[in-house]
Amino acid sequence: MKRASLTEFEIEEEGLKLRICRSDENKGNGAQIAPGYTAMPAYAPAPAAVPAPAPAEKPEEEEKGIVIIKSPMVGTFYRAPSPDSPAFVKEGDVVNNDSPVCIIEAMKVMNEIPAELSGEIKQILVENGDSVEYGQPLFKVKQP
């Protein structure tokens, strides 16, 4: 603040209001928080109300023998090793334990994800280029 010759700075964002004043008489650090507001660390995201998704209603017969391949990490889901390459798998393909099913990019590293089970790909649950979370369902596989 001294270098920029500022005596006062105020910012308000998502329920946080911070006002910093600098003066020669004030021997403290000059930080003030406006009444009615609570200080939050800059790295903490503002709380957001996210409605929980409604449980899917499916007949039990449809789900028998179906196993879900879930994301082992947070990242970006890719169906193919490069934009001009064919997808690793498509619905109806048969996979085994070592068959790669997708790539998840995390921190600029391309992680090839194996099926780790045998069966037929029944449904691809994520679109190419989507962000995925840890444990998010990616594929439905019908096991023999």
Q: Which pLDDT value is given to residue 59?
A: 45
What's the CA dihedral at 38, 43, 49, 53 to 10 degrees? -160
Q: Which pLDDT value is given to residue 20?
A: 78
pLDDT tens-digit readout, 20-50: 777 655 445 545 545 554 444 444 455 555 5
- The structure's pTM equals 0.56
Which regions of the chain carry the CATH code 2.40.50.100? 63-142
Closest by alpha carbon to 128, among 69, 88, 96, 72? 88
What architecture is domain 63-142? Beta Barrel (2.40)
d(CA 46, CA 67): 36
